[in-house]
């Protein structure tokens, strides 16, 4: 597998950390690959990724299905929705530059927002679809 998934994930992380709207919604740049023990709510984690070979005669192309998780314990569903909106504003059609690859597009797919079984944590799963090609 090429390095496109890692490069895209790094570019997404960088874009989210740099986004002032998301930082305002989270109370800081709390974007984690693996959250620290006792991370302060709210925060965002980079979740699962699926990579699909979408190559054609024009060359190697990959489709990426990415999941981001927003975690909240204040303000009920409202805070989770605000964070979800900030994620969409930061990433939907963002002009990212994954190292060694060209981002053809990055689009929002779907979001699910729910209360977790503990009754006080709200969890938003925000999914995006991206297509990358190697730089030539």
DSSP calls for 40-93:
PSSEEEEEEEEEEE--BTTB--EEEEEEEEEEE-SSHHHHHHHHHHHHHHHHTT
| pLDDT values of the chain reduced to their tens digit, one per residue, 136 residues | 459 999 999 999 999 999 999 999 999 999 999 999 999 999 999 999 999 998 877 778 999 999 999 999 987 789 999 999 999 999 999 999 999 999 999 999 999 999 999 999 999 999 999 999 998 7
State the pTM of this model: 0.92
Domain map of the chain by residue range?
4-34+41-134
Q: Does domain 4-34+41-134 correspond to CATH entry 3.30.2000.10?
A: yes
For residue range 33-54, list pLDDT tens digits in order. 999 999 999 999 999 999 999 8
Percent of the chain scoring above 90 in pLDDT:
88
How far is it, in rounded angstroms, from Cα 87 to Cα 51? Answer: 21
Identify the helix (H) or strand (E) that includes residue 16.
helix 4-18
């Amino acid at each position: 597998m090429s390095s496109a998934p890692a490069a895209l994930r790094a570019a997404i992380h960088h874009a989210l950390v740099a986004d002032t709207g998301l930082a305002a919604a989270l109370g800081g740049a709390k974007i984690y690959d693996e959250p620290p023990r006792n991370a302060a709510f709210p925060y965002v984690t980079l979740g699962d990724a699926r990579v699909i070979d979408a190559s054609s005669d024009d060359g190697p192309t990959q489709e990426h299905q990415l999941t981001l998780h927003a975690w909240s314990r204040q303000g009920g569903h409202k805070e989770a929705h605000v964070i979800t909106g900030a994620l969409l504003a930061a990433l939907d059609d963002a002009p990212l530059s994954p190292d060694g690859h060209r981002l053809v597009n990055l689009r929002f797919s779907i979001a699910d927002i729910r209360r977790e079984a503990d009754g006080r944590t709200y969890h938003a799963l925000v999914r995006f679809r991206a297509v990358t090609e190697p730089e030539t």
